[in-house]
């Protein structure tokens, strides 16, 4: 699928350094109907997965591909399958990140695998991320990125029914929410804001709700329900695409005394994302 063996990308590293400024956190707070003032000053603790607002690839416009992503190659292997998505992550939190921290993120490609799925050949690339403030490790994540061809007709996977839960929060979806999150994460992928492209080129039935947005909302509501506890680890995986014309609810239940299961579900009660929070 590439001009050289993709195994050559195993072990590749990229290191970025950035000051975790207030602006992105305040923007996400406003998008989630939280108070931006809570993140206005240095020292304010960031919800750990809000690090996704930082260390963003900033490719010049001439290096953007037809899907709105940076062109293939560079740090990630140049797999030629047309569709690229964030499939899931496993995150561990060692200590808080704060507004004003000068942090370093090191990313390493640790696994590349080829699989056959219902839509054909797929490649999975696993990237390990480590964020440090000084010499102190604050955050670890293993992120799975999936590559596949665009099917000629959109066929959703078989629905996974929402299991019984003890709490639920509903979130209104609209194109403005998707656009704001795309802007905050500097994500140019056109499936999230360009309806003509999403439906006419990638054959989706509407605008696609970002996986990371669902993961952040699931994390937020789990923390709201367990406000007296501190997150220690978080994992999630996409199950089914979610679209801007859907309704979405975030639902949770304890799986054991130390963890909570969380599900995003559409209006048909089909699960779109599964997640689990482990508490310190």
What SS3 class is residue 163? coil
At residue 58, the pLDDT reads 85
Shortest CA distance to 8 belongs to which of 76, 92, 83? Answer: 76
Q: Please answer whether residues 18 and 51 qualify as being in contact, where contact means their C-beta atoms are separated by less than 8 angstroms.
A: no
Q: Please answer whether residues 220 and 47 qualify as being in contact, where contact means their C-beta atoms are separated by less than 8 angstroms.
A: yes
Per-residue confidence band for 12, with pLDDT thresholds at 50, 70 and 90:
very high
What single-letter DSSP state applies at residue 50?
Answer: G
Whole-angstrom distance, CA of residue 15 vs CA of residue 45: 23
Please report, for the chain, the start and end positions of each structural domain, with discontinuous segments joined by +: 1-149, 151-280
Report pLDDT digits (tens) over 172-208.
Answer: 999 999 999 999 999 999 999 999 999 999 999 999 9
Per the structure block, which two tokens stand in for 155?
């066929």
Per-residue confidence band for 270, with pLDDT thresholds at 50, 70 and 90:
very high
The CA-to-CA distance between both ends of the chain, in Å, stands at: 43
* The pTM of the whole model exceeds 0.75: yes
Whole-angstrom distance, CA of residue 166 vs CA of residue 262: 10
Alpha-helical runs (H) found in the chain: 22-31, 175-184, 195-200, 211-225
At residue 210, the pLDDT reads 97
Fold entry, domain 1-149: Thiol Ester Dehydrase; Chain A (3.10.129)
Domain spanning 151-280: CATH 3.30.565.10: no
Tell me whether the CATH fold assigned to 1-149 matches the one assigned to 151-280: yes
Report pLDDT digits (tens) over 119-134.
Answer: 789 999 999 999 999 9
More confident position, 63 or 107: 107
Q: Please answer whether residues 31 and 104 qualify as being in contact, where contact means their C-beta atoms are separated by less than 8 angstroms.
A: no
Report pLDDT digits (tens) over 14-43.
Answer: 999 999 999 999 999 999 999 999 999 999
Query: Residue 17 CB: number of other CB atoms within 10 A?
Result: 11
Whole-angstrom distance, CA of residue 32 vs CA of residue 159: 27
For residue 1, pLDDT beyond 50:
no
Q: Please answer whether residues 143 and 126 qualify as being in contact, where contact means their C-beta atoms are separated by less than 8 angstroms.
A: yes
At residue 24, the pLDDT reads 98
Q: What is the mean pLDDT of residues 106-110?
A: 97
More confident position, 249 or 115: 249
CA angle 174, 190, 49 (to 5 degrees): 70
For residue 117, pLDDT beyond 80:
no
Q: Please answer whether residues 5 and 27 qualify as being in contact, where contact means their C-beta atoms are separated by less than 8 angstroms.
A: no
For residue 2, pLDDT beyond 60:
no
């Amino acid at each position: 699928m590439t001009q050289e063996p993709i195994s050559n990308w195993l072990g590749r590293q990229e290191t970025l350094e950035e000051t975790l400024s207030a602006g992105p956190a305040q923007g996400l707070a406003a998008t989630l109907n939280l108070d931006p003032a809570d993140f206005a000053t240095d020292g304010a603790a960031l919800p750990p997965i809000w690090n996704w607002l930082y260390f963003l690839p900033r490719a010049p416009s001439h290096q953007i591909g037809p899907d709105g992503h940076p062109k293939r190659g560079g740090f990630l292997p140049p797999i030629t399958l047309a569709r690229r998505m964030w499939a899931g992550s496993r995150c561990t939190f060692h200590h808080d990140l704060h507004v004003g921290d000068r942090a370093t993120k090191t990313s390493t490609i640790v696994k590349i695998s080829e699989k056959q799925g219902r839509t054909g050949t797929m490649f999975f690339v696993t990237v390990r991320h480590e964020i440090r403030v000084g010499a102190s490790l604050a955050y670890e994540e293993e992120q799975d990125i999936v590559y596949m061809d665009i099917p000629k007709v959109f066929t959703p996977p078989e629905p996974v029914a929402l299991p019984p839960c003890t709490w639920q929060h509903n979130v209104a979806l609209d194109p403005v929410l998707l656009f704001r999150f795309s802007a905050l994460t500097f994500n140019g992928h056109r499936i999230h804001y360009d309806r003509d492209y999403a439906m006419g080129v990638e054959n989706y039935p509407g605008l696609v709700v970002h996986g990371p947005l669902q993961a952040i909302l699931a994390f937020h509501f789990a923390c709201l329900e367990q406000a007296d506890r501190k997150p220690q680890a978080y994992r999630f995986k996409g199950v089914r695409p979610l679209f801007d014309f859907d309704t979405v609810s975030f639902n949770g239940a304890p799986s054991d005394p130390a963890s909570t299961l969380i599900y995003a579900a559409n209006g048909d009660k089909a699960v779109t994302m599964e997640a689990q929070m482990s508490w310190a």
